[in-house]
Structure 1
Amino acid sequence: MPRSAPAPAKTADLHDSPDSPDSSQSAPFIDERKFVVALARGLDLLRVFKPGETLLGNRDFVERTGLPKATVNRLAYTLTVLGYLRFDEALGKYALDAGVLSLGFALLSGTDTLELARPHLRAFAREVGAAVSLGCRDGLDMIYLETIRSETALTLGLASGSKLSMLTSSMGRAYLAVQPVDVRDALLAELAQAAGDVGQAQTEQARVEIDAFEHAGCCYSFRAWHDDVNAVAVPFRDPRDGRWLVLSCSGPASSMGEEVFRERVAPRLMALAQRLGGPAQRGARSHAR
């Protein structure tokens, strides 16, 4: 079975025109003999919805996917017929429909580790007076599978399904730290490019935390993702299917400084991660940059 790509390829770039970049360069780990471009494009349309967005038009789909308008029209129609999108005739826009919800529910209800983790997350949030979350990778982001806050925790509007940058969040850095070096370097290069002008600086900062994981056993993010948010994260393997999950704890930097996270929060979070899945091992070590 071929290795998966470092991140989902932008399918608009695969076969749209003779001017498209060579697929072996844009998606080096994809076996195109098995890759169904039409299916990937349809899923791309569903992925462009962001938390809080309820309606998107064809122009939004075109801008965010890079697909031609005619292709977007056909994909949106097909997804509507199948029950994954709903078309609002009055506004001329699309909303996610129940088919998407059923997929998400199937994922969450089928995750035994999530059910096992919930009472521990609640207890942890009460104990440290902060927000604690469980997440996994989604493309170049990390996505919350569950997040629980104490009554006094800072509220940033993040809930299950919310996404965080893999590059600046502690959760993303912890995920990167346990990847094989070739996968990690490929992801960092892609993340730096996606971040634009700040990509190099953010990547260098992320590498510092990733390198520190070997002796710290966790990754931090101090005011990197948000001006008043500090966080720590610990990865572990899901005992059921072996995929990497990440626990994170975040709180207001104004009242929960670096020392609090290093001395009080991190040890407790590492103990919880070990209880849920066992100790994490960093991917193949390399100092090559």
Structure 2
Amino acid sequence: MKRPGKKAATDRSFVVALSRGLEVLRAFRPNDGLLGNQEIAARTNLPKPTVSRLTYTLTKLGYLTPVPRFEKYQLAPSALLLGYAALANLGVRHLSEPFREQLMRETGGAVAIGGRDRLSMIYFGQSRHGVVNVQLDVGSRIPIATTAMGRAYIWALPDDERAALMRDMREHYGSRWPKIRDGIERAGETVAKYGFTISAGEWQDDVHAVGVALKLNDGTGPYAVNCGAPAFRFTEERLRTDIGPRLVAMVRNIEAALGGLAPQTNQTNNQSNKELNKKPKPGGKVARVAEGIR
């Protein structure tokens, strides 16, 4: 966890104690099971005495359940209700489901929709076939910087927000940043030309995926959608010429449905395939924008 920055520390409306309590809840991850005060302190960078007071308070409020035998805690139903309430209120999750299911059947890949949490994207909707070896589900986190979903999200942001995110990632990744930044810049060029991003083994060696940003007119988001599969199923050529254009068409249809418009036809795929036959020029305006915030 990052400690509250100078801006937050001097913001009289910012409640530090509340932020620390929420950080304790955030320390619990899928498949974690039980966590003790020492583990929570390590994950949040908070002093152990502070963590002890916070876990005591959260227990009294019903957000944590103590397990005295192990001197540890687990999330209580009251905490789970917050997550379920958030999912229930994400209309795009429910509306996108039939579109995701259709693309999953057509391609054999796993299709997910997610939103940003700091330097990660969190899945809040997932459609996958039982034979697809992509072990991610609702609540899973993937990095923004190296995944197709994350990169699609990056290039959907306004310039100033993208610049701030790039600075945060540069600080986080340190010496690894130049290589990661190059991948993000390439993704920007791909988005500018084709409307989708590609991550072929850049996050996990054996996973290939494409990503497309989903933009709404209600002030929420942006979100992003991906379609991925093991590398032997989704070759880079298939990502470019088939899966990418299909995902773009699907996302545009979701946006149209949310806006009350008629879905697009297969013309989107035909136009995208024509564009894919053209060789992109190196560099370009999109890359230069990223270079200006290194």
Q: TM-score, normalised by structure 2?
A: 0.83
Q: Check conservation: 2:157, 2:222, Cα contact below 8 A.
A: no
Give me the identity figure in percent.
Answer: 36
Runs of 5+ in structure 1 lacking a partner? 1-8, 15-22
Give, in whole Å, the separation in 1 of the partners of 2:179 and 2:161.
20
For 2:159, which of 181, 197, 208 is the aligned residue? 181
Q: Deviations over 1:32-89 (max 9, x none)?
A: 1221111111111111122210111111111111111111111111111111111110
Say how many residue pairs are matched: 263
Name the aligned partner's letter for residue 142 of structure 2: L
Q: Deviations over 1:211-248 (max 9, x none)?
A: 33112211111101100001111111235553211110
Give, in whole Å, the separation in 2 of the partners of 1:197 and 1:73.
35
For 2:2, which of 10, 31, 35 is the aligned residue? 10
Q: Deviations over 1:123-168 (max 9, x none)?
A: 110110010001010111000001111243223x210000000111
Question: Aligned-pair distance for 1:31?
Answer: 7.1
Aligned equivalent of 1:165: 143
Aligned equivalent of 1:254: 232
Aligned equivalent of 1:18: none
Name the SS of the counterpart of 1:133 in structure 2. strand
Q: Does 1:232 align with 2:235?
A: no
Name the SS of the counterpart of 2:232 in structure 1. coil
Name the SS of the counterpart of 2:229 in structure 1. strand
Name the aligned partner's letter for residue 72 of structure 1: V
For 1:56, which of 10, 35, 47 is the aligned residue? 35
Name the aligned partner's letter for residue 112 of structure 2: S
Q: Check conservation: 2:207, 2:230, Cα contact below 8 A.
A: yes
Runs of 5+ in structure 2 lacking a partner? 257-285
Equivalence map 1:138-217=2 (5 Å) = 138-155=117-134, 157-217=135-195
Q: TM-score, normalised by structure 1?
A: 0.85
Aligned equivalent of 2:245: 267
Give, in whole Å, the separation in 1 of the partners of 2:90 and 2:54.
30
Q: Check conservation: 1:113, 1:240, Cα contact below 8 A.
A: no
Q: Does 1:82 align with 2:34?
A: no
Give, in whole Å, the separation in 2 of the partners of 1:197 and 1:55.
34
Name the SS of the counterpart of 1:286 in structure 2. helix
Name the aligned partner's letter for residue 114 of structure 2: G
For 2:92, which of 80, 90, 113 is the aligned residue? 113
Name the SS of the counterpart of 1:146 in structure 2. strand
User: If each structure's helix is expressed as a fraction of its own residues, which one has the higher value?
Assistant: 2
Higher alpha-carbon Rg:
2
